[in-house]
Structure 1
Amino acid sequence: MSQLNQLQDLMKTLRLTETANHLPTLIREAEQKDASFTQFLLDVATYEQKRREEKLLEKRFKWATFPFFSTLEEYDLKEQKSLSSKKLNQLKDLTWMEQLYNIIFLGPPGVGKTHLSIGLGIEALNQGYKVIFTTMGDLIHVLKTEEITRKSKTRMKRIREADLVIIDDLMFMAMDKQEANMFFHLINDLYNQTSIILTSNKGPKEWGELLGDQAITTAILDRILHRVEIIHLNEDSWRMKHRKTIFGQQSVSN
């Protein structure tokens, strides 16, 4: 066995697998630039650190479970005049996360609430935060099966450990008392340690109708609204304005 193979095996034993696989290239580059031993070791250590960071980011993107990939740069402010460029930049700098603020995007379907939420989630991931995206329906399902399945238990552990939890389509369905109670306990767990982004087409005043229990509603609102920025997206549905039709330029209604 050559010295290179021995070194690669040793590095893999030390869990430096990424560098072990790339080692021939690193050695060749060091020889080409006549690098010192110190510079070569620095290049090796830097490569390993960079690949670990990249793999961690890849893993966190997978755990985030975004339904699609959309950045804030892709969001067309011309289509949504109720959100200014200044406000969008303030959201993008994520200072509100450091202050443990929550964000609520309110508005009818199709105005970009989910797009904005995912864009902010991607921005947070790229800045080193742990992010989880879930729909309200999926969240309730995972809460109800947490004690039954390992998958749900792992999912809830990641949600509770996240820096940012995005709950999409909040209050799209009525909850029974057990579901509302589970949701309250989750919000209580996240309170003062995690920022939350909520999207909804119903304002907080209407949440009580769907949660059913006024005491639970009040307790949830107290925690969510303690530090919150509510952003109303009032323009017409982007999806409706830009919908495609099999009838070419004709309106679907004509």
Structure 2
Amino acid sequence: MYTTDHLRQMLLQLKLLNVEQKLSESLVKAQTEQMTHQEWLTLLLQTEINEREQRMMKTRIKRAKLPQNHLLEYYDFGVDNGISKTQMNQLKELHWLEQHFNVILMGPSGTGKTFIAAGLAYLALKAGYKAIFRTMEDLARILKLSDMTKNNRAQYNACVKAELLVIDDLMMFPIEKKVGQMLFHLIDTLHEKSSVIITTNKSPKEWAEALDDQVLATAMLDRLLHRAQVVQLKGESYRMKNRKTIF
């Protein structure tokens, strides 16, 4: 006759660790609610599936390098920054991602661009898409060193294979010629195959100045805007408006 200890050993052998941890609890629940064997087994297996999915999601968020704040359910619609609740809900539905559309979030610093972009990337991850979030500073390093180090090559390949690539603070700083050309190549590779979210506080005219190349800036914008929703944010910085002090 098999005992609970025997069952635990078999669960550990099969590496069903979450089921093993919840075994006693599930046995009590089964007895209290008079579950059938099938109902009890379903409960155990669903517990294992839920725990594994949560672990996988945490790993995907870590690899995507999302900012700490990325939950759009906490978005403050009391702030008038140019995007309505209806527009936000449409973005959250991710239909644009299914159709390989891009989203360009433009506006002054502190108006919520990064938070929205990270939130959409998180929803994409939850929906099963491969999503990557990188600041332009990080991406510039990846592009520049992709042929020199194994780590940066792996990160570059992850960007190429992403179904959603978020580039945060694009054109905030001047971009080296070589990096600009590699960035164009990356965007061109993703064109009509994946979606890109751009956050920027620069106008298209200023992109040419950041790249120091009008032709390259025009070609890049041509790819990004071909199938894109441009969201123009406005207003004063939310961080400055809600800033905290020591005293």
Please, what TM-score do these two structures have when normalized by structure 1? 0.85
CA–CA distance in structure 2, aligned partners of residues 120 and 47 of structure 1: 28
Corresponding residue number in structure 1 for 2:69:
69
Quote the offset at 1:110 in angstroms: 1.5
Secondary structure of the structure 1 residue equivalent to 2:97: helix
Corresponding residue number in structure 2 for 1:21:
21
1:239 aligns to 2:239 (yes or no): yes
CA–CA distance in structure 1, aligned partners of residues 8 and 159 of structure 2: 37
Of 24-33 and 104-113, the range deviating more from structure 2? 24-33
Matches within 5 A, 1:115-126: 115-126=115-126
Corresponding residue number in structure 2 for 1:91:
91
Matches within 5 A, 1:167-178: 167-178=167-178
1:168 partner amino acid: D
Of 97-106 and 176-185, the range deviating more from structure 2? 176-185
Secondary structure of the structure 2 residue equivalent to 1:79: coil
Secondary structure of the structure 2 residue equivalent to 1:104: strand
Of 197-206 and 152-161, the range deviating more from structure 2? 152-161
1:102 partner amino acid: N
Quote the offset at 1:233 in angstroms: 1.0
Corresponding residue number in structure 2 for 1:44:
44
Corresponding residue number in structure 2 for 1:224:
224
1:184 partner amino acid: F
2:63 partner amino acid: W
CA–CA distance in structure 2, aligned partners of residues 94 and 153 of structure 1: 29
Quote the offset at 1:81 in angstroms: 4.2
Of 120-129 and 43-52, the range deviating more from structure 2? 120-129
Quote the offset at 1:40 in angstroms: 2.1
CA–CA distance in structure 2, aligned partners of residues 21 and 147 of structure 1: 46
CA–CA distance in structure 1, aligned partners of residues 245 and 48 of structure 2: 50
Of 139-148 and 156-165, the range deviating more from structure 2? 156-165
CA shift digits 1:40-96 (9 cap, x unpaired): 222222222211211111111212222221422322233224212221221122111
CA–CA distance in structure 2, aligned partners of residues 173 and 81 of structure 1: 24
Asked if the contact 1:60–1:125 (Cα under 8 Å) also holds between the matched residues in 2, the reply is yes
Query: Cα–Cα, structure 1 residues 214 and 241, in superposed 2: closer, same or farther, change >3 Å?
Result: same
What is the total number of aligned residue pairs between the two structures? 246
CA–CA distance in structure 1, aligned partners of residues 161 and 188 of structure 2: 13
Query: Cα–Cα, structure 1 residues 157 and 6, in superposed 2: closer, same or farther, change >3 Å?
Result: farther
Query: Cα–Cα, structure 1 residues 143 and 6, in superposed 2: closer, same or farther, change >3 Å?
Result: farther
CA–CA distance in structure 2, aligned partners of residues 19 and 131 of structure 1: 30
Asked if the contact 2:164–2:195 (Cα under 8 Å) also holds between the matched residues in 1, the reply is yes
Quote the offset at 1:193 in angstroms: 2.7
CA–CA distance in structure 2, aligned partners of residues 213 and 6 of structure 1: 70
CA–CA distance in structure 1, aligned partners of residues 179 and 153 of structure 2: 16
CA shift digits 1:169-202 (9 cap, x unpaired): 0011222221112212221232223211111111
CA–CA distance in structure 2, aligned partners of residues 54 and 24 of structure 1: 22
CA–CA distance in structure 2, aligned partners of residues 97 and 245 of structure 1: 40
CA shift digits 1:147-169 (9 cap, x unpaired): 33333233333333333221110
Asked if the contact 1:80–1:111 (Cα under 8 Å) also holds between the matched residues in 2, the reply is no
Q: 5+ residue gaps in structure 2?
A: none
Of 28-37 and 58-67, the range deviating more from structure 2? 28-37
Asked if the contact 2:81–2:111 (Cα under 8 Å) also holds between the matched residues in 1, the reply is no
Query: Cα–Cα, structure 1 residues 48 and 144, in superposed 2: closer, same or farther, change >3 Å?
Result: same
Asked if the contact 1:80–1:233 (Cα under 8 Å) also holds between the matched residues in 2, the reply is no
Percent identity, aligned pairs only, is 38
2:180 partner amino acid: A
Secondary structure of the structure 2 residue equivalent to 1:188: helix
Please, what TM-score do these two structures have when normalized by structure 2? 0.87
Q: 5+ residue gaps in structure 1?
A: 249-254
